[in-house]
């Protein structure tokens, strides 16, 4: 094994610890009336897109699909569209969010409130519930054509 590969293998865990990057994946589930699915968590204020952290060995799309199924009972049909990867430095200096648009889906079971998700519902982008996060508002303005895409969540 070449020397640079040995050094890289040994130092990679240290580089990762110093960098401290986090990665999440969320889905913008849109119904036939252009309403979007939002959730309210038990552990943070406001309304958000369903989603969560990307696990080791998992793609961002796989994480988004898993989180949608776990949190809101949504099964994505076919491919989801990656709208972008956004920085969320207000939350954490190394935080990034992969944002997917989901137009083809089914929901065989609608889960009730639980310890993590206390409420969920579909809303038009111009009639969002009080407390909808700024990141959700910015992404919806981009998706529905009212704003240019920005890099920040």
Tell whether 8 is covered by a domain. no
Give the separation between CA 73 and CA 78, rounded to whole angstroms: 16
Tell whether 51 is covered by a domain. yes
Q: How many domains would you assign to the chain?
A: 1
Confirm if 82 and 43 have CB atoms less than 8 A apart. Answer: no
Tell whether 113 is covered by a domain. yes
pLDDT digits (tens, 9 = 90+) for 50-108: 999 999 999 999 999 999 999 999 999 999 999 999 999 887 788 999 999 999 999 99
Tell whether 84 is covered by a domain. yes
Tell whether 69 is covered by a domain. yes
Domain boundaries, position 42 = 21-143
Tell whether 37 is covered by a domain. yes
- Confidence category of residue 148, pLDDT binned at 50, 70, 90: very high
Tell whether 116 is covered by a domain. yes
pLDDT tops 70 at residue 14: no
Supply the CATH number for residue 67's domain: 3.90.79.10
């Amino acid at each position: 094994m070449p020397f640079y590969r040995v050094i890289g293998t040994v130092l990679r865990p240290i580089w990762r610890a110093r960098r401290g990057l986090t990665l999440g994946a969320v889905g913008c589930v849109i119904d036939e009336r252009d309403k979007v699915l939002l959730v309210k968590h038990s552990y943070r204020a406001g309304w958000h897109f369903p989603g969560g952290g990307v696990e080791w060995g998992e793609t961002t799309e796989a994480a988004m699909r898993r989180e949608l199924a776990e949190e809101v009972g949504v099964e994505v049909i076919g491919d989801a569209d990656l709208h972008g990867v956004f920085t969320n430095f207000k939350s954490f200096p190394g935080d990034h969010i992969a944002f997917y648009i989901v137009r083809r889906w089914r929901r065989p079971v609608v889960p009730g409130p639980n310890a993590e998700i206390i409420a969920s519902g579909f809303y038009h982008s111009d009639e969002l519930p009080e407390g909808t996060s700024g990141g959700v508002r910015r992404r919806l303005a981009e998706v529905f054509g009212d704003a240019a895409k920005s890099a920040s969540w």
